[in-house]
Amino acid sequence: MARAWIFDMDGVLVNTNPYHKSAWTTYAAELGHNIDEVWMSRHIFGRINRDAITALLGHEPSEEELKIHTANKEALFIDLFRPHIALLPGLDKLLAEAKAANVPLAVATSAPRMNVEFIFGELGLAQYFPVVIDDEMITRGKPDPEIYLKAAKALSVQPEDCLVFEDSFSGVRAAHAAGMPVIALSTTHKSFEFTDVELVIKDFQDFCLSDWWNGESHV
């Protein structure tokens, strides 16, 4: 059990992965590159855009290049995902229960801020997550633990008292490196591919709050 919960966003709060894959494939093709699922698993899933764009371009982009490529790719993603935007099944009920029980919640996402603002704005998530750490607030992307350590500090809890919800291998490694147990969502990878996690779930319909929160004060 844990005193605070930290959620990744893509593949955890919302199943954006099919739309990110399509957007990355399209954008890479526009730049003259042919990428596949294996390449995306290695360079994109769970990672910040700087790392993904560096891998795609074959060199470290300047800040201006990074802004342009991020804006172009994410505009493709938002256009694709907007008609399909929805929380993972069962998450609306879980978040309402967590808020009522005063469970400290945070989001720690490799996504750029424009995506966070889009998804939070469309789904009204700000009421549940007083702490959001996005890619503009870190210098090292997952699997480095920086993002999860910053989330724990912002929640005023110790890392070992946090439970993380992740969908990517790099995210699981980041959480473990921060000393946090992980519940994996099988939205990006198959259930059997995850090892050394507390539990693997496909969504939140059968997830029970009381089984994973100890109800202690986090102050």
| Stretch 9-13: mean pLDDT | 96
The DSSP H or E segment spanning 131 is: strand 131-133
| Stretch 18-46: mean pLDDT | 89
Q: What is the pLDDT of residues 111-155, one digit of tens each?
A: 999 999 999 999 999 999 999 999 999 999 899 999 999 999 999
Question: Rounded to whole angstroms, how far apart are CA atoms 27 and 159?
Answer: 37
In DSSP notation, 94-130 reads HHHHHHHTT--EEEE-SS-HHHHHHHHHHHTGGGT-S
pTM of the model: 0.87
| Stretch 197-201: mean pLDDT | 97
Q: What is the mean pLDDT of the chain?
A: 93
CA angle, 109 as apex, 165 and 18 as ends, to 5°?
A: 80
Which pLDDT value is given to residue 1? 66
Report the candidate in 48, 13, 16 with the shortest Cα–Cα distance to residue 137. 48
Q: What is the pLDDT of residues 42-89, one digit of tens each?
A: 888 778 888 889 999 999 999 999 999 999 999 999 999 999 999 999
Sign of CA dihedral 42, 83, 132, 184: negative
HSE-CB of 204 using CA atoms within 13 angstroms: 23
Least confident of 6-15, 30-39, 97-106, 194-203: 30-39
Which pLDDT value is given to residue 2? 80
Which pLDDT value is given to residue 218? 39
Question: Rounded to whole angstroms, how far apart are CA atoms 54 and 40?
Answer: 13
Q: Which residues are known catalytic residues?
A: 8, 10
Which pLDDT value is given to residue 50? 87
Asked if pLDDT for residue 216 goes beyond 70, the answer is: no
Write down the CATH number for the domain with range 17-83. Answer: 1.10.150.240
Encoded tokens for 42: 């290695």
Enumerate the domain spans of the chain.
4-15+85-211, 17-83
The structural architecture, per CATH, of the domain 4-15+85-211 is 3-Layer(aba) Sandwich (3.40)
